[in-house]
Chains A and B, each alone.
Chain A
Amino acid sequence: MKLTLKIWRQANASDKGALKTYELDGVSQDMSFLEMLDLLNEQLLHNDEEPVAFDSDCREGICGMCSLMINGEAHGPEVTTTCQLHMRSFKDGDTITIEPWRAASFPIVKDLIVDRSAFDRIIQNGGYISANTGSAPEANSVPAPRDKAMRAFNTATCIGCGACVAACPNGSASLFLGAKITHLGELPQGQPERYSRVQSMIGQHDAEGFGGCTNIGECAAACPKEIPLDVISQLNKDLRKSMILG
């Protein structure tokens, strides 16, 4: 099939950037979205034009490296990552607009690549259980109720891609935050630091310039791993309790 692509081109962080239009022929339904961009880049290189920079690594939907706003939707029209989106979701003659994540806390590095290091800094501020190597008790000495362990797992599947932030009108990372708070807070091992964790992670979230949550729900709708919105309720609940506990 033949497509018209409108792609955000920006040479570096300080460049102004603009959408540029490209025509691309020879796209097959079986290609992944990123393979379609590979094809475009091969064509650009042939025409002595610098290829479009975009992030991807595992290309199987788990590393969280790929991003892209596709026609205004984070990761495009399906509930999956951009790397798992295939061209059969589009049709011949379509015009596709491709932009980077748009969020003040994710500054653009080049073209479609953004800087998500704010997520690492949130994890640095309490997104862990303190257990030095070698200090762990026997694994089965602390049973964890199965339903709680399942909920911990379901929220631990967050891939840190940032789609929630990109989709949120407020640029909030509450879903990312709530997922980690719920993962660690559901497990017995996570209890000792539960309430200090929520305060310090939220503190860093706000310091990074992410917005507040106003319960719009775009984040959960865009999440390729279907992290449920109720992790934000958990986040708020733990925050309230932490304030009472002082």
Chain B
Amino acid sequence: MAAGTHYLPGLTPTNEAPVQKSDDAAGYYVLGDKLVDPKTPTGPIAERWTTRKFENRLVNPANRRKLDIIIVGTGLAGGAAAATLGEAGYNVKSFCYQDSPRRAHSIAAQGGINASKNYKSDGDSDYRLFYDTVKGGDYRSRESNVYRLAEVSTNIIDQCVAQGVPFAREYGGLLDNRSFGGVQVSRTFYARGQTGQQLLLGAYQAMERQVAAGTVEQFTRHEMLDVIIVDGRARGIVARNMVTGEIETHLADAVVLATGGYGNVFYLSTNAMGSNVMAAWRAHRKGAYMANPCYTQIHPTCIPVTGAHQSKLTLMSESLRNDGRIWVPKKAEDCTKDPRDIPEEDRDYFLERIYPAFGNLVPRDIASRAAKYMCDEGRGVGPEVEETQPDGTVKKFRRGVYLDLGAAIERLGKDKIEEKYDNLLDMYERITGENPYEVPMRIYPAVHYVMGGLWVDYELQTSITGLFCAGEANFSDHGANRLGASALMQGLADGYFVLPNTITDYLADGPFEKIDESHPAVVEALEGVQSRVEKLMSINGERSVESIHKELGQIMWEYCGMDRREEGLKTAIGLIRELKKEFWTNVKVLGSADSLNQDLEKANRVADFIELGELMCIDALNRRESCGGHFRGESQTEEGEALRHDDEFAYVAAWEFGGEDGAPILHKEDLIYTAIEMKQRSYK
């Protein structure tokens, strides 16, 4: 029996276990043991979750109030988990770095949330949602997890409606759906372009209700700086009170990280300014494996960078590609002209030209890469932005392509377009100062979401006992690419329905031995954090945290962005190692550590982004194949499309921290499918 197939009695695997032949990252890592048991239940796929829920031990209601759970992060996953576990009667302590749980970045999600309700009677089912999600993830996710996600998706909609989430409705008062992300059914529930906001407020209100009930205690403006491990179990966290600067320890029977994604390793992304990897990275350094860190989703339709001052990027919903035609001038000398003066025959509708079948609706990664290549060629439009080249020289590029609504306005009328995209086009005008009804919009790809994250087993437990991870922070459900409207589904699935049903089995062994703040492991974690903060405050160098973060972002975007290659990744690793030295010898943080200090907050975060960046490059270097959001230039078809190598890489790369100066250790978890067959995609 192949490794990883222990849960398949009576089932036939559709693929062989992979055997890696290439070894691009030789010298940068150490090969560890295979991961053979992600605790997946046995049996046919549609029965696995039910089986597991039955097999799991429960906690008697009277015992729940004796159990403490720490949940870090208050987005869809963390907020939903805090509310649900509070309702169940556990003592929950909830932490967020914002001034209110309601501000977590889930709030910015626009499009919608998928669920296999089949309200349109268009042939949807749990299996179809499962199938679309595994295929969309380019066959790099764990099938049992994805099926479970599809299975609980319908419960999410029921729950949210009961909470008063104002989804769009039909005239008869029933819920409306739209189609999204290139699937053939309409299964996306939405609240205009603010679905994330409405779902988050639902979870937030449910959580606040538990605060009033006394089951949830909330700690706002608190940032987790380490996890406390006692006798091999996660038993608490070290957090900094961002107002007083006090470094506090909080103890519990279990710890849940729901701390979101790390897209800000690229400096510019659609993430919030504060989104960071610190909680996950601190856990990684204490033994939690980081899985597939290189899997990054780059969204094709964002508002382009206007200059060096740019602090973040804003997404324009992908739905615009339904009506907009994407083009650049055929001639580089036309790039500075008013686009309205460029005649039809001098425009290159490059997506329609290269991909005649799908045209402007090719998947996100293909659209993104094509835009990049056009701009690399010197046919980009919009303001010129300076970019530092590997040899240190600075070159100027225009990083934008046109998304032209002109033809759609002519065909459907301005009113129709206004009705469809009103908010969006207003936001565009506010940011760019250009009227998209008159001048073609400019767009460019931007980092949007990360599929990688902390490795978790089927129970959402990391490789540290008692430390769980939910939402975007874990790696589990999207494989190498996430479908539109699936992030909200996964966050809420984890928070409302999965974690509350799996953590019980762990807590059934509790309450664990009482520990207090004088326990040596607690003192050690606290002192570790204190000395790191003191170190950051005492370097007193020349460079702002911001400038180092920007430099990291440029390295990552250039070499570990849309087109990754062996040589570039190796260059990046070298540059990042130098940048790490620069940071720890030359960063400048003013003010004091014992008061509100935003530069200190950023310094802590950027220090971890630098280490994560190196691991992402090593992961990308090792994976000499293209899959989903990870495109290796060396692995493409003759037509320039992503080419997977299932025989070598159908595995999850779970990285163990290798020590301060040691190489990371790679543990492979083979992906064996029984309910679906792997296929190569084509969009020509």
Residue positions of A touching B, CB distance < 8 A: 11-12, 28-32, 34-35, 38-39, 42, 45-46, 48-51, 53, 55-65, 78, 80, 84, 86, 88, 109-110, 113, 115-117, 119-120, 123-125, 127-140, 142-146, 149, 152-153, 156-157, 159-160, 183-184, 187, 189-190
User: Which A residues touch B323, using CB under 8 A?
Assistant: none
A56 & B273 in contact (Cβ 8 Å cutoff) = yes
Interface contact tally, CB-CB below 8 A:
219
B162 & A143 in contact (Cβ 8 Å cutoff) = no
Segment of B302-310, B338-346, B479-487, B604-612 engaged in the interface with chain A: B302-310
A112 to chain B, nearest CB (A): 11
CB-nearest residue of chain B to A152: B166
Task: Scan residues 564-597 of chain B and give those whose CB is less than 8 A from a CB of chain A.
Answer: 588, 590-591, 595-596
A128 & B105 in contact (Cβ 8 Å cutoff) = no
CB-nearest residue of chain A to B81: A133
A62 & B590 in contact (Cβ 8 Å cutoff) = no
B158-185 vs A: 1/0 string, CB under 8 Å?
Answer: 1111111011111111110000000000
User: Which B residues touch A35, using CB under 8 A?
Assistant: 309-311
B158 & A59 in contact (Cβ 8 Å cutoff) = no
A143 & B430 in contact (Cβ 8 Å cutoff) = no
A129 & B162 in contact (Cβ 8 Å cutoff) = yes
A153 & B192 in contact (Cβ 8 Å cutoff) = yes
20 CB-based A-B contacts, threshold 8 Å: A29-B433, A30-B307, A35-B311, A56-B273, A78-B430, A86-B430, A128-B205, A128-B209, A131-B206, A133-B87, A135-B162, A137-B158, A138-B158, A139-B157, A139-B158, A140-B119, A142-B161, A156-B191, A160-B102, A160-B103
> 14 other contacts beyond A59-B311, A62-B107, A117-B220, with CB at 8 A cut-off?
A31-B307, A58-B107, A60-B108, A60-B312, A60-B314, A60-B315, A65-B103, A84-B431, A124-B211, A131-B159, A131-B206, A137-B162, A145-B173, A152-B166
User: Which A residues touch B205, using CB under 8 A?
Assistant: 123, 127-129
B309 & A143 in contact (Cβ 8 Å cutoff) = no
B528-564 vs A: 1/0 string, CB under 8 Å?
Answer: 0000000000000000101100000000000000000
The complex places the Cα of A128 from the Cα of B547 at a distance, in Å, of: 43
User: Which B residues touch A49, using CB under 8 A?
Assistant: 590
B87 & A146 in contact (Cβ 8 Å cutoff) = no
The complex places the Cα of A140 from the Cα of B273 at a distance, in Å, of: 38
The complex places the Cα of A125 from the Cα of B208 at a distance, in Å, of: 8
A174 to chain B, nearest CB (A): 19
The complex places the Cα of A104 from the Cα of B430 at a distance, in Å, of: 32
B158 & A84 in contact (Cβ 8 Å cutoff) = no
User: Which A residues touch B107, using CB under 8 A?
Assistant: 58, 62-63
A153 & B100 in contact (Cβ 8 Å cutoff) = no
The complex places the Cα of A46 from the Cα of B545 at a distance, in Å, of: 12
Residue positions of B touching A, CB distance < 8 A: 80, 83-84, 87, 98-105, 107-108, 117, 119, 155, 157-164, 166-175, 191-192, 194, 197-198, 201, 204-206, 208-209, 211-212, 218, 220, 243, 270, 272-274, 306-307, 309-312, 314-315, 383, 427, 430-433, 496-497, 500, 544, 546-547, 588, 590-591, 595-596, 598-599
A88 & B433 in contact (Cβ 8 Å cutoff) = yes
The complex places the Cα of A11 from the Cα of B594 at a distance, in Å, of: 12
The complex places the Cα of A157 from the Cα of B193 at a distance, in Å, of: 11
- Which one of B98, B155, B274, B588 lies within 8 Å of A45 (CB-CB)? B588
A50 & B590 in contact (Cβ 8 Å cutoff) = yes
B163 & A65 in contact (Cβ 8 Å cutoff) = no
A116 & B197 in contact (Cβ 8 Å cutoff) = no
User: Which B residues touch A144, using CB under 8 A?
Assistant: 169, 173
Using known A-B contacts A45-B599, A139-B161, determine if residue A125 contacts B212 with beta carbons closer than 8 Å. yes
The complex places the Cα of A153 from the Cα of B189 at a distance, in Å, of: 14
CB-nearest residue of chain A to B167: A149
Q: Is the interface of A mostly helix, strand, loop or mixed?
A: loop
The complex places the Cα of A109 from the Cα of B102 at a distance, in Å, of: 19
A65 & B544 in contact (Cβ 8 Å cutoff) = no
User: Which B residues touch A153, using CB under 8 A?
Assistant: 166, 168, 191-192, 198
User: Which A residues touch B157, using CB under 8 A?
Assistant: 139
B219 to chain A, nearest CB (A): 11
B293 to chain A, nearest CB (A): 24
User: Which A residues touch B194, using CB under 8 A?
Assistant: 62, 157
B596 & A110 in contact (Cβ 8 Å cutoff) = yes
CB-nearest residue of chain B to A61: B427
Q: Which of A63, A139, A140 has the most chain B CB atoms closer than 10 A to its own CB?
A: A139
B98 & A63 in contact (Cβ 8 Å cutoff) = yes
CB-nearest residue of chain A to B117: A139
- Which one of A53, A62, A139 lies within 8 Å of B598 (CB-CB)? A53
CB-nearest residue of chain B to A156: B166
B590 & A30 in contact (Cβ 8 Å cutoff) = no
The complex places the Cα of A3 from the Cα of B496 at a distance, in Å, of: 50
User: Which A residues touch B314, using CB under 8 A?
Assistant: 59-60
- Which one of A136, A145, A160 lies within 8 Å of B162 (CB-CB)? A136
User: Which A residues touch B119, using CB under 8 A?
Assistant: 140
A61 to chain B, nearest CB (A): 7
A30 to chain B, nearest CB (A): 4
A120 & B208 in contact (Cβ 8 Å cutoff) = yes
B272 & A59 in contact (Cβ 8 Å cutoff) = yes
User: Which A residues touch B306, using CB under 8 A?
Assistant: 28, 30
A86 & B500 in contact (Cβ 8 Å cutoff) = no
Using known A-B contacts A57-B272, A184-B164, determine if residue A62 contacts B218 with beta carbons closer than 8 Å. no
User: Which A residues touch B243, using CB under 8 A?
Assistant: 109-110
B206 & A128 in contact (Cβ 8 Å cutoff) = yes
A59 to chain B, nearest CB (A): 5
- Which one of A55, A64, A80, A139 lies within 8 Å of B175 (CB-CB)? A139
User: Which B residues touch A32, using CB under 8 A?
Assistant: 311, 431
B430 & A132 in contact (Cβ 8 Å cutoff) = no
A158 to chain B, nearest CB (A): 9
User: Which A residues touch B497, using CB under 8 A?
Assistant: 133-134
A39 to chain B, nearest CB (A): 6
User: Which A residues touch B596, using CB under 8 A?
Assistant: 12, 53, 109-110, 113
User: Which B residues touch A130, using CB under 8 A?
Assistant: 209
CB-nearest residue of chain B to A114: B99
The complex places the Cα of A42 from the Cα of B549 at a distance, in Å, of: 13
- Which one of B160, B172, B208 lies within 8 Å of A123 (CB-CB)? B208
B311 & A38 in contact (Cβ 8 Å cutoff) = yes
User: Which B residues touch A84, using CB under 8 A?
Assistant: 427, 430-431
The complex places the Cα of A59 from the Cα of B446 at a distance, in Å, of: 15
